[in-house]
Amino acid sequence: MAEVLVYVDHVDGAVRKPTLELLTLARRIGEPVAVHLGAGADTAAPVLAEHGAVKVLTADAPEFAEYLVVPKVDAVAAAYKAVSPVAVLFPSSAEGKEIAARLAVRIGSGIITDAIDLEAGDEGPVATQSVFAAAFTTKSRVTTGTPVITVKPNSAAVEAAPAAGAVEQLEVSFGEQATGTKVVSRTPRESTGRPELTEAAIVVSGGRGINGAENFPVIEALADSLGGAVGASRAAVDAGWYPHTNQVGQTGKSVSPQLYIAAGISGAIQHRAGMQTSKTIVAINKDEEAPIFELVDYGVVGDLFDVVPQLTEEVKAR
């Protein structure tokens, strides 16, 4: 059966959820072969096998930790040569997209970024994308070379499918450019204990209706009760009430969680662009004419300062 290369996003071998989603989608196209770079292959391999990887190609070298993406491109290119896959899949993270783009140039292939679904087609994998501020859904296919596709987090429900997952060492020789750019320092962000916004299954966002930074704990409390991440509209971010890293929308992050709760957000097209592909959308807004109600699954017309705390208490009580 045809093999599909899947780039593994991990932290010291702890495989991140978007990779498990990729393995699930990859199985629609062929047999997933995981490419794990850096430390932690022993930890990652059983998890990758549990989710359908027939093989885990791994390589570790100081270059992966010290330098930016080019050494990883060298490694994925080596895996590509070793496997001759029918497609190469990456998570749509900043790193995933950069490696994917560089790989596509190197192997002379077409690339599709930010897919939200993937299916097998007679002439190769077909990717679904949500485009033009989510006004259209398109289906595309790469027509040149081996498709290189990046897939947004939360695009598929993770399904286990135990496979052999035999670990094989990957021989990598680094090109001249591999060490061209070096990481000079890393400052970990202070952890909020909440999931990463783009990967969270639940996102609770606040907008201008929050009416001040001092009120954002109302949103945080609901997010925490649900184990979710906190998002914000640009109006809230521009007002300095919440960090830009949490902005959802065209000029912020694009999220696609199982549940998106928007409180005090009107639903401008630029905000929708970042959340419209969420599976279930709930809005709380005191204006029943607010455009956000056009796209919700459940809408609550009311003051968020009444509704959100009640919701939080209700969730906590369960």
Which residues here bind ligand FAD, judged by CB under 6 A?
A: 207-209, 233-236, 247-252, 264-266, 268, 270-271, 274, 284-287, 290, 303-305
Joined together, the tokens standing for residue 256 give: 């696609």
Q: Which is nearer to ligand FAD, 167 or 275 (CB)?
A: 275
- Smallest separation (angstroms) from ligand FAD to the CB of 253: 8
Residue nearest to ligand FAD (CB): 249
What number of other Cβ atoms are within 10 A of residue 198's Cβ?
23
Residue type present at position 285: N
Provide the annotated binding site for FAD: 208, 233-234, 247-251, 264-271, 285
Helix or strand (DSSP H, E) at 261:
strand 259-263
Query: What are the distances in angstroms from CA 92 to CA 21, 55, 254?
Result: 12, 22, 10
Query: What are the distances in angstroms from CA 120 to CA 2, 32, 144, 295?
Result: 12, 14, 17, 29
Name the β-bridge partners of 286.
none
- Smallest separation (angstroms) from ligand FAD to the CB of 284: 6
Contacts of residue 265, Cβ cutoff 8 Å, sequence gap at least 6? 205, 206, 207, 208, 209, 233, 271, 283, 285, 292
- Smallest separation (angstroms) from ligand FAD to the CB of 211: 6
Q: Which is nearer to ligand FAD, 106 or 208 (CB)?
A: 208
Provide the annotated binding site: 208, 233-234, 247-251, 264-271, 285
- Smallest separation (angstroms) from ligand FAD to the CB of 286: 4
Q: Which is nearer to ligand FAD, 140 or 270 (CB)?
A: 270
Annotate 114-141 with b (16+ C-beta within 10 A) or e (fewer).
bbbbbeeeeebbbbbbbeebbeeeeebe
- Smallest separation (angstroms) from ligand FAD to the CB of 252: 4
Q: Which is nearer to ligand FAD, 176 or 289 (CB)?
A: 289
The residue among 64, 67, 65, 112 whose CA lies nearest residue 87 is 112
Q: Which is nearer to ligand FAD, 75 or 200 (CB)?
A: 200
β-pairing verdict for 111-119 and 126-131:
antiparallel
- Smallest separation (angstroms) from ligand FAD to the CB of 307: 8
- The DSSP 8-state label assigned to residue 164 in this structure reads -
Q: Which is nearer to ligand FAD, 112 or 290 (CB)?
A: 290
